[in-house]
Every structure is written in structure tokens, then in C-alpha cells.
Amino acid sequence: MPNLSVELLPGHKRGLSFSNPVMTASGTFGNGLDYAKIFDIQRLGAIVSKAITLRPRQGNAQPRIIETAAGMLNSIGLQNIGVDAILRDIAPVWATWRVPVIANIAGESIAHYAELARRLDGAPGVSGIEINVSCPNVENGLEFGTDPRSASDLTYAVRRETDLPLLVKLGPNVTDIVGIAAAAADAGADGLTLINTFPAMRIDIQARRPTLGWGSGGLSGPALKPIALRMVYQVARSLDIPIVGCGGIVSAEDAIEFMMAGATAVQVGTATFRNPQAPLDIIDGLEEFMQREQILAVREIIGAALPAQRESQTNNAGGVAAGHGPQSDGAITGRALRPG
């Protein structure tokens, strides 16, 4: 049987070991409790929680979710029960599961993010933290992840409050994803999640107004995949830091593309609306692909499409290039630019 296991953060003192590289994305999976009634969620590689804020949030006005060509628009507005309820009611359930749970956090200021990290550090059932940097900063009206300085300041503040494995989830509406990724890495991120939804909207031509109650929202689903895939590839060929690919993944083929582009693991989100078992189908499809291609370990797929990896495969008759797979012998510093 092929070995699907991955070590997402081999350089971290706690690490993040997954039985397979398929995770759920923050949002569509909620906090996992409802899905646990449908299937064995412990088959998943990992679960990412719904965004957690300091205080409960009611979210945006309805409608919040609409379909669009090859995807979905959402404007949920970070509706959630708040960190107190998470720690009291949800985290103890996570602690009973044999699957890593990563807490996604969102704040209105750097101080909010830092406080969330402090509260969640050491909480039962929390294996890591994912920073949602695509939230509006109420202090200046901009998103945290749209420039290197803001991404760096936010990551550094969270890093000081926790030694849990730390992922930074970046948005796509930037001109230099590599520069922002490098800034987050230098500030203490252990890994990156690429990418969040893309700002978008629809118009109701009969009502002559935006279809979403909030006006605009985030585009997700297959329409986002080519953008996300390119950004994963850009960062993977430039930085030595583990990457989680996210955006429009609905099939095993999609997941394999992201991994060949340099992602160590992938997150599945919008696909679960149509098919709650989509992550499990992707796991099964990945295993079938590996069996068909006679691939013994999933690490052989990671980074296979990167230039240096392709050159190594040509020279070594299919070997994995050192330094490009998270489980290879090559050092992954999470900081240095790749040569070339």
C-alpha cells in the first residue's frame, strides 16, 4: 500500500504529522462536529476550524452565499461563537479525536490576534494555529496580508504568544505573493496556506443591486484553482517553507496538481457543500493514483513539477530532489530564497 503520510512541519519542535495530506479548509467544514456524525473524520489528514474571533459574531446580512459560474461567492462575515465557547464546548471534543485540529483565528487588530493565540496556546485538542490575514484591519481599513510589513507585524505578534505550529493563510489579491510570503516566514511562520478567497461580486439585474447582502464577498471553488495553483508554484520555487495548497480543489487530480506544484498538503472547502465526503473521495483517489503510477510514498509527488525537481528526476531516474520535499534530507529553513 502506498504511504500517504506527511510531516507538514519537519523543522518544528512539535511538528504536525498527518496520516495523509488532505485537510479541510476553514469555513465550510464548521468545527467538524456535524461532519463527525456523517463519516469517520479521523480518516482526514487534519481539520481546520471555522474562523475564531475574540467575541461571538453574528455575521453579515443575508444572503451570504450564492452560486456563480464555476464557484461560489460567500460573505459570511466571520460568524462564529467566539473563543470562550470554543474553549469551553468545542476544544474538549477535538481532544477526543485522533486527527490534528488547527485553529483558524481572525481579528480586527494585531492585539486581537495576539490575544487569540495566547488563549488557544495549550488548549486541549488544538494542534496548531492558522492566521487568517485576509481580515480587514479596523485600525487602518486595510487587510493585514496585502503588504509585507503588515503580514510581518501580525505574524510576529502571534509568534510571540505561542509555540504551537503556525500557518499563515494569505489572500490572492496582491501583486507580489512571494514578497508577502517571505515576510511572514521571516516573522516566524512555520508554514503557509495558499490561498484564501478572491474578492468578487454579482449583480441582481432585476433588483439593480448587488446579490450578496454585504455587497461583495469572496470567490471560491474551481474558478479559483488556476490562480491558487500558480501562487503555490511561485512561492514553492522561491522559498524553503512548507505550503498547504487551497483553492478550488474538488478532485484527487486537483490535489495532485497542487502537490506537484510544491504543496505538502491541501485543503478542501467549497467541494464539501455539494459532496460532504469530497475529502475522503480525494484521499481514495490519491491512493489509487499512487498505486497506478507505482509511487510508494506521497513525498515523491511533492514538488515534482518544480524546475529543480524535474531536473533531478531526469538526472536520477525518478529520484526526489533534496530540499524540495518536506520529508527529504534537504534542509527546509522556511526563510531562505531558493537559488535560481
Q: Which residues are identified as catalytic?
A: 135
The letter for the amino acid at 18 is: F
N-term to C-term CA, the chain: 36
Report residue 264 as a C-alpha cell.
505538502
Task: Check: CB of residue 151 under 8 Å from CB of residue 170.
Answer: yes
Report residue 285 as a C-alpha cell.
483517489
- Residue 216, classified by CB atoms within 10 Å of its CB into exposed (0-12), middle (13-18) or buried (19+), is middle
* Look-up of cell digits 524546475: 307
Helix ranges, 19-170 (H):
83-85, 91-94, 110-120, 148-159
What are the b/e assignments for 225-262, b being 16+ CB within 10 Å? bebbbebbbbbbbbbbbbbbbbbbbbbbebbbbbbbbb
Whole-angstrom Cα distance, residue 208 to residue 105? 35
Residues listed for the chain: 340
Report residue 291 as a C-alpha cell.
498505486
What are the b/e assignments for 71-109, b being 16+ CB within 10 Å? bbbbbbbbebbebeebbeebbeebeebebbbbbbbbbbb
Cβ partners under 8 Å of residue 211, min gap 6:
63, 66, 73, 201, 202, 203, 204
* Look-up of cell digits 480587514: 136
Whole-angstrom Cα distance, residue 231 to residue 24? 19
